[in-house]
Amino acid sequence: MLELTTKEFLQLDFKTREEPILAPFGGAVVVADPSLLTPDLSPDGMWHMFFHTTFGVYHFRSPDGIRFSKVQKVASRAMRPNINRIGDRYYLFYEKTRNLLINALNLANLAKWRSQIYLKTSADLVHWSKPQAVVTAAGGYEDSPRGSSISNPYLLETDGKYRLYFSCGLTFIKDCGFCEPTYIHYAESNEVGGGYAVLGAPIIIPDSTDPYLNLCSGCLKVYRLKDGFIGIQNGIYEKEGASHSAILLLTSEDGKRFKYVKTLVTPRSDDEKSWMHQFVYASHLVPCGNALRLYFNARDTSNMIKGRECIGYAEAIIPE
């Protein structure tokens, strides 16, 4: 739980660091979907970040949450990780995909996409268990003409249960040449490691009248406050004939029904050279001393050949 009320959180002013902290490497064109452990939750008092590139999920380490170096590649055919510490064990949820060739054929609409939520666990962030499937179906909402997708896992402990938020479905974004998640849904279990039941219909769906949600839903991260919940979502939207993504702040009384409040981070549309010119995507909110850091990835252009995705953060100081 964040030790803030909803009113106090809404008053925070998030300022984005000018330069990214991690750029693509090793022949990849993206570093994306950061999920972090702060030093108080790690086994060595360091920052640990999990994220994906074109080639799988990676684990990097840092003394300050800014300067990161490689520890290991955790999983191939994997993306969009979510790392959690529960008790003395670490739980890494992620989206498991098909191999690179089939994924590439999907971009040309020559093969169907297929992804599901899997889990690996560890006692030390170095040695990992074999992967196990956690969510493999979402009541049909995972299916689309481009294939089947269950993605963007995010775990929240609440009301004595484990609630796993996730994205599902695929919406083709024409100017990007690839798909983004259509819906946001959730599943619940009494055990962190399995037994998740998908409940009801999606909780966030596209809305053609919504300026930040008129294409598809992106992903959602949910945090408990003293008096309710906040959701941080990146909606995918069309504006003036081009697609964009912005990071949105939502509020909720129960963590299931959300209301849009304001944008937290928007693309820098007026700066064509910016690393976040057209899209700001998936995020992870963590405490850092007397501040909160919102790590996220951003993309400079929708052009599939020229576009690059980097990881950076915005920070808000918590008043005393």
* Structural domain contains residue 132: yes
Structural domain includes residue 151 = yes
Domain count for the chain, please give it: 1
For 24-68, the pLDDT digits (tens) are 999 999 999 999 999 999 999 999 999 999 999 999 999 999 999
pLDDT of residue 84: 98
Q: Tell me the C-alpha distance between 208 and 206, whole Å.
A: 7
pLDDT band for 288, please (50, 70, 90 cuts): very high
Residue 176 covered by a domain: yes
Residue 31 placed within a domain: yes
Determine phi and psi for 272, rounding to 5 degrees: -65, -20
| Assigned domain for 272 exists | yes
Q: Can you name the residues that pair with 314 across neighbouring β-strands?
A: 16, 294
Span 266-293, mean pLDDT?
97
Cα separation, 127 vs 213, in Å, equals 40
Q: Domain limits at 156?
A: 6-317
pTM of the model: 0.97
Provide the pLDDT confidence category of residue 3 given band limits of 50, 70 and 90. very high
Q: Would 1 be classed as within a structural domain?
A: no
Residue 62 maps to a domain: yes
Residue type, 195: G
Any idea what the CATH number is for the domain that residue 111 is in? 2.115.10.20
pLDDT tops 90 at residue 105 = no
Does any domain span residue 54? yes
Q: How many CA atoms, within 13 angstroms, populate the side-chain half-sphere of residue 85?
A: 14
Instruction: Give the bridge partners for 221, in sequence order.
Output: 232
d(CA 158, CA 156): 6
**% the chain with pLDDT above 90:** 94
